Structures are given as structure tokens and as C-alpha cells.
């Protein structure tokens, strides 16, 4: 007969019972420990990870209240809530045992000897212990996963008025369950704000589920969001929970909700309104408790006007609206973000002591950043990789040369700025050949050198 790997501790002041249970259970479990004195329990559970503890309810002669057993049960569970405690009761103490189960006991057995009953009860308690450990392990993995993901998501950097206004709203609404709609261009950090809302909420210890609506195939929308039962479609080989169900208790982030086809918006609206979902292929409702955060880079008001987005759905997802500013409207934050990414990627690529030239920092501030923070991050990462000295220059940030010139803000008539721009373009055109650049500019080399020094090119 193969033994279960379970470890059992039996606590009872009846020597004969301890011997009998030890002999009987040793055929079924790998470790059986027995003690008569409950005061030894803390010492034993410090040394060994028991799966099931069989615990007598009374130890003092003449006392049959069961309070001693309940006290030690609570001490055991305080130390490890996943341990299964099975109480040992005398005949007539069943009511006490049932009350103890309300306090946390897994089950009870009676001292009247019934091998089948004893074994089935302890085996069930052992399975419950394994289930608790599995759940605990999953929770720890989820916590680690959330922490890992959060560490990979860039923090909110900046102290401009624009970002401070956003954070003021985040701080005010994060503790509520109000549905949030985040608006902003691609790359402005909509997911970062969604995660910050979750991190500061009362649901922060629960799961954050991110769904990119734009990446969902229309025919898989229901299955992905609401789940499905086995056999509901050709590839449904088993039951599967959808994102709403998985996120229950936590936060559900629906990114790029503006890409949701009109035909599917009513199904989403129904789920939000009723706070319940139906798995595909099932008519059984499943209640869900989520904090909903949505985001899009589209003009929702324009979409409502042209009938491509439901107005009633907007009302449901738009209790609070957060408008994220584009990076070009956060000039004061560009250098702070640049320094953050420089430190991050210098460490990643093992290039300590890197710095960015003053001229390049000016260029970074002048650039229009159509791809916003995401583009700035990629630019600095690329520059760190390409830099073969201690100083990052323009050509490290824009190795192709011409792309950044097109995007530089051109709403200035300042002569110095335009002269500097033309000189840089000439030097770039002739790949640093000062003689050819000076000839193109119509000045001599010494004049060009003076201007290079003047503009810190």
C-alpha cells in the first residue's frame, strides 16, 4: 500500500489512544508524531510542517467544556492557517465539536473506534491542507507577478503643472470604486496611471487584469472577456474563466476601448450594468466585483457623434475622466524623464557614468515627441546602446540624422536658433567635414569653429 506524503501530529493525554492511532495511521502517512502535553505543540510545529493535527478537546481532569482544545486550535491556526485541525471528541461532545468547526476546525472524529471513519476524515483533512497550500502558493505567485510587472512599469516621473493635476485626480479617486476613463495619445502612460489607481486603491492586494481590446479578435471577444464552457465552440476543450471573472475583487483595465466594435459594446454594457457575466455556452450567471478602468487614444465624443460608440456605454465607463497630457506639453518633465531612462538603461547595459551633452538635452527638449514618453524611452535606450564614450550626443539619439530635424518645433523666428539649426544640418550633411560644411555655409573654417563653440554643437 503506497503512503500519502502527509505529516500528522496527534495530541491527546490518552496513552493508549496515541499508540493505537500511531500504529493505524503509520500505514497511510509518512510521518506520525504523538504528544500527551499540549504545551509542547508550539515546539513541535516550529520544527515540523504538519499537514493535519489531531487534537483532543479536553486535557484537564474533570473539565469537558472543550475550551482547551479550541484554545490550542486557535494557536495552531494563528501560526499556520493552512494546517487542518481535526478534533478528537468523546461520545456526547459532538455539539462542542460542531461549534469548534465554526471557529476554524476542519473536522472531528470520535474516540469510539471506527477505522474507516477515522481514515476518511483524516484523508479529507489532508486534501484540504493541500488545497490551502496550493491557493497560498498561487497567491504568492500572483503577488510576485504583480510586483514584477509593477517593477517593469515605469513610475510616474515629473513635476510639471500638467502631470501634477493628473496625480491630484488620481489621489482623490483611487480609494473609490468609481469607473475611470483615461484619455491620451499613444505613449502618454495610460497603463501606468491605471496601475497607480489600482496600487492606491482598497483593492491593491487583489489582481490587476489588463486587456488590450484592440488586440482581441472580434470572434473571441466574448470568450476572452466572459469565459466559456467546454464544447461551446470547436476549440473549447475545457471550461475557462474570462478576464471579468479573473479580475473579480480587483481592477479590470480595458485598454483601447475605442477599438471595441459597436456590435460588442452592448454585451460589455450589460456586464457592467448587471455586475454579472455568462460564460459562452452557459446560461448560469456569475457575479463579478470589479473596479473598471478604461483607456483610449480616440476622440470618444466624435465617435458618439458619428454613432460608432454608444453614449450609454460612455456614461457607464466615464464616472471620472482623466486627460493625460502629451509629452510636448510637459516641457519641464522631459529632462527628468530623460535622466530616469538614462539611469535605467545605463544599469541594464552596464554602462555606468554615462551623461548626456548639454546640446543634446536642449535638442531633447525641442523635439516634438509624437510618440510621447514611449518614444523618449526608446530613444534613450538606443542612445545608451550606441554610445561608445561617456557622453551621449545627438547622433546617438538620432542615428538616422534627418528624422529628428523634421520634428523639431519650428515656431520660432529667433536668428540664433535658426543659425544653429542650419550649421548643424550642414555638419551632418558632410558627416563632420568642417571644410566642406563651411564652404556650403559660405563662411571660412575659423568662423565656423567659433560658431560651433558659441552654440555648443
Domain boundaries along the sequence of the chain: 4-135, 157-325, 328-454
Spatial separation of the C-alpha atoms in residues 88 and 111, rounded to whole Å: 7
C-alpha span between 442 and 160 (Å, rounded): 42
Compute, in degrees rounded to 10, the torsion defined by CA atoms 46, 50, 52, 56. Answer: -40
Cα separation of 128 and 264, whole Å?
41
Euclidean distance between CA atoms 125 and 51, whole angstroms: 8
Say which residues have a Cβ less than 8 Å from residue 321's Cβ, sequence separation at least 6. 180, 181, 183
| Residue 54 Cα to chain centre, angstroms | 40
CA 117 – CA 123 distance, rounded (Å): 10
Class of 157-325 in CATH:
alpha beta
Burial of 306 (0-12, 13-18, 19+ CB in 10 A): exposed
C-alpha cell at position 381:
535606450
**Could you give the CA distance from residue 320 to residue 322 in angstroms, rounded to a whole number?**
7
Residue 250 has a pLDDT of: 92
What is 219-284 written as a DSSP string? GGHHHHHHEE-TTSSTT--S-EE-HHHHHTTSEEEEETGGGS-HHHHHHHHHHHHHTEEE-BT---
On whether the CB atoms of residues 387 and 351 are closer than 8 A, the answer is: yes
DSSP state of 287: E
423 grid coordinates: 550649421
CB 109 within 8 A of CB 90: no
C-alpha cell at 71: 484554545
Find the farthest-apart pair of alpha carbons in the chain and give their distance in angstroms, rounded. Answer: 113
Give the 3-state secondary structure of residue 227. strand
First to last CA, the chain: 83
pLDDT of residue 218: 80
The H-or-E segment that residue 241 falls in is strand 240-241
* Ordered DSSP codes for 350-366: T-TT-EE-HHHHHHHHH
Nearest to 319 by CA among 201, 131, 180, 456: 180
DSSP for 9-67?
EEE-S-HHHHHHHHHHHTTTEEEEEEES-GGGHHHHHHH---SEEEEES--STT--SSH
84, containing H or E segment: strand 84-89
Q: Using alpha carbons only, how large is the chain's radius of gyration in Å?
A: 33
In the prediction, which pLDDT does 173 show?
96
Architecture of domain 328-454: Orthogonal Bundle (1.10)
Which cell numbers in the block locate residue 37? 502535553
> All 3 cell numbers of residue 450?
567659433
Q: For residue 43, how far is the Cα from the chain centroid?
A: 38
Element (H, E) at 183: strand 180-183
Cell of 260: 471595441
What is the tens place of the pLDDT at every residue in 279-309?
988 888 899 999 999 999 999 999 999 999 9
Chain-wide mean pLDDT for the chain? Answer: 88
Contacts of 20 (CB under 8 A, 6+ apart): 113
Q: Name the superfamily (CATH) of residues 4-135.
A: Response regulator (3.40.50.2300)
Q: Which residues of the chain have a pLDDT value below 50?
A: 402-407, 409-410
Same fold, 4-135 and 157-325: yes
Quick one: cell of 146? 504583480
What is the model's pLDDT at position 347? 94
Task: Say what the pLDDT of residue 343 is.
Answer: 95
CA 1 – CA 26 distance, rounded (Å): 11
Contact assessment for residue 100 and residue 77, using Cβ atoms and an 8 Å cutoff: no
Could you report the per-residue pLDDT of 61-72, keeping only the tens digit for each?
A: 777 788 888 999
Residue whose entry in the numeric block shows the C-alpha cell 489512544:
17
Amino acid at each position: 500500500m503506497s503512503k500519502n506524503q502527509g505529516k500528522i501530529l496527534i495530541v491527546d493525554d490518552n496513552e493508549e489512544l496515541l499508540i493505537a492511532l500511531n500504529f493505524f495511521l503509520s500505514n497511510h502517512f509518512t510521518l506520525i508524531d504523538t504528544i500527551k502535553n499540549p504545551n509542547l505543540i508550539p515546539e513541535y510545529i516550529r520544527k515540523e510542517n504538519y499537514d493535519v493535527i489531531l487534537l483532543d478537546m479536553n486535557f484537564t481532569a474533570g473539565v469537558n467544556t472543550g475550551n482547551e482544545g479550541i484554545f490550542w486550535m486557535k494557536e495552531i491556526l494563528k501560526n499556520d492557517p493552512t494546517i487542518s485541525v481535526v478534533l478528537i471528541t468523546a461520545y456526547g461532545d459532538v455539539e462542542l465539536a460542531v461549534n469548534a468547526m465554526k471557529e476554524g476546525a476542519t473536522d472531528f472524529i470520535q474516540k469510539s473506534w471506527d477505522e474507516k471513519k477515522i481514515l476518511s476524515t483524516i484523508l479529507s483533512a489532508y486534501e484540504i491542507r493541500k488545497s490551502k497550500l496550493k491557493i497560498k502558493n498561487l497567491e504568492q505567485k500572483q503577488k510576485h507577478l504583480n510586483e514584477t510587472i509593477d517593477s517593469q512599469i515605469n513610475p510616474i516621473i515629473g513635476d510639471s503643472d500638467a502631470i501634477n493635476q493628473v496625480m491630484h485626480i488620481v489621489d482623490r479617486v483611487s480609494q473609490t470604486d468609481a469607473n475611470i476613463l483615461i484619455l491620451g495619445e499613444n505613449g502618454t502612460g495610460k497603463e501606468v496611471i491605471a496601475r497607480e489607481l489600482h496600487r492606491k486603491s482598497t483593492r491593491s492586494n487583489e489582481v490587476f487584469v489588463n486587456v488590450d481590446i484592440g488586440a482581441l479578435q472580434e470572434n473571441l471577444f466574448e470568450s476572452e472577456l466572459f469565459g466559456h464552457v467546454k464544447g461551446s465552440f470547436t476549440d473549447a476543450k475545457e471550461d475557462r474563466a474570462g478576464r471579468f471573472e479573473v479580475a473579480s475583487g480587483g481592477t479590470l483595465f480595458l485598454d483601447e476601448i475605442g477599438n471595441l466594435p459597436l456590435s460588442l459594446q452592448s454585451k460589455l454594457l450589460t456586464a457592467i450594468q448587471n455586475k454579472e457575466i455568462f460564460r459562452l455556452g452557459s446560461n448560469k450567471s456569475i457575479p463579478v466585483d470589479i473596479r473598471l478602468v478604461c483607456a483610449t487614444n480616440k476622440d470618444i465624443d466624435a465617435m458618439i457623434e458619428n454613432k460608432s460608440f454608444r453614449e450609454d456605454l460612455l456614461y457607464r465607463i466615464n464616472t471620472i475622466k482623466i486627460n493625460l497630457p502629451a509629452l510636448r506639453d510637459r516641457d519641464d518633465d522631459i529632462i527628468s524623464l530623460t535622466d530616469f531612462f538614462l539611469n535605467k538603461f545605463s544599469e541594464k547595459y552596464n554602462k555606468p557614468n554615462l551623461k548626456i551633452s548639454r546640446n543634446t538635452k536642449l535638442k531633447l527638449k525641442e523635439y516634438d515627441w509624437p510618440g510621447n514618453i514611449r518614444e523618449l524611452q526608446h530613444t534613450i535606450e538606443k542612445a545608451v546602446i550606441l554610445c561608445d564614450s561617456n557622453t551621449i550626443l545627438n547622433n546617438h539619439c538620432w542615428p538616422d540624422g534627418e528624422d529628428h530635424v523634421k520634428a523639431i518645433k519650428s515656431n520660432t523666428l529667433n536668428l540664433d536658433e535658426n543659425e544653429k539649426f542650419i550649421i548643424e544640418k550642414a555638419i551632418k550633411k558632410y558627416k563632420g567635414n568642417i571644410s566642406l560644411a563651411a564652404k556650403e555655409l559660405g563662411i571660412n573654417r575659423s568662423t565656423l569653429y567659433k560658431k560651433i563653440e558659441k552654440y555648443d554643437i
